[in-house]
Amino acid sequence: MPCAGGNVGAVTLRVAPLRSGHNAGPTRTRLSVREVRMIDMSALQQRLDPLFPGLMGLQLRELAPERVLAELPVRPDLCTSGGVLHGGAIMAFADTLGAVGTVLNLPAGKRTTTTDSSTKFIAAARVDTVVTGESVALHRGRTTMVWQTMIRNAEGKLCAVVTQTQLVMDGG
């Protein structure tokens, strides 16, 4: 998913220990600054609406640098002939959430694309219900970010777990 743009807002300071060697002396610290994009959820939803996630009916519910929550109505056109949500729809839903999470963490001038995705299907989601996706950051690095998304059906049962890697590239 291309970078969604937006104003760079809050700055997060991380304190990281500096040590050299196995039994180095006292731990020194350094401060590293990470800019976090403050993107308005309604503006991001408007960007998604004319694209594939919007065509599927994805609705963002919560955005944070380390977590994205969204819902997807299980419409007949997203289902198999058996009336359950198609695996491809589940994967596309999850992929979008991981990409959105990455966009929230991109520095200015960067963009992202998915390089790897692994899906484990566990249970079905029936037509005319709503699934919920929660994507959490496992790794937010300078060149890659890894997100794990859990998709749950209307009863709260886990339907799928998707883990994906997002590449951070120049050219936002």
**Helix 41-48 with 87-105: angle, nearest 10 deg:** 140
Domains of the chain in start order, with CATH, are 40-170 (3.10.129.10)
- Run of H or E including 107: none
**Tokens 């790897």 sit at which residue?**
116
Question: Hey, what are 56's tokens?
Answer: 């599927």
Beta-carbon contacts of 171 under 8 Å, excluding residues fewer than 6 positions away, are 109, 110, 111
Dist. CA 100–CA 40, nearest whole Å:
12
Structural contact between residues 94 and 133, judged by C-beta atoms closer than 8 angstroms:
yes
CA distance linking residue 67 with residue 44, whole number of Å:
15
pTM of the model: 0.80
Predicted confidence at residue 38, as pLDDT, reads 67
CA–CA separation, 128 vs 166, rounded Å? 31
**Residue-level pLDDT, tens digit, the chain, 172 residues:** 433 433 333 323 233 333 444 554 444 433 334 455 567 999 999 999 999 999 999 999 999 999 999 999 999 999 999 999 999 999 999 999 999 999 999 999 999 999 999 999 999 999 999 999 999 999 999 999 999 999 999 999 999 999 999 999 999 6
From 136, 145, 147, select the one nearest 168 (Cα to Cα): 145
In this structure, what token pair is assigned to residue 60? 């963002």
Q: Which of 96, 171, 106 is nearest to 144 (CA)?
A: 106
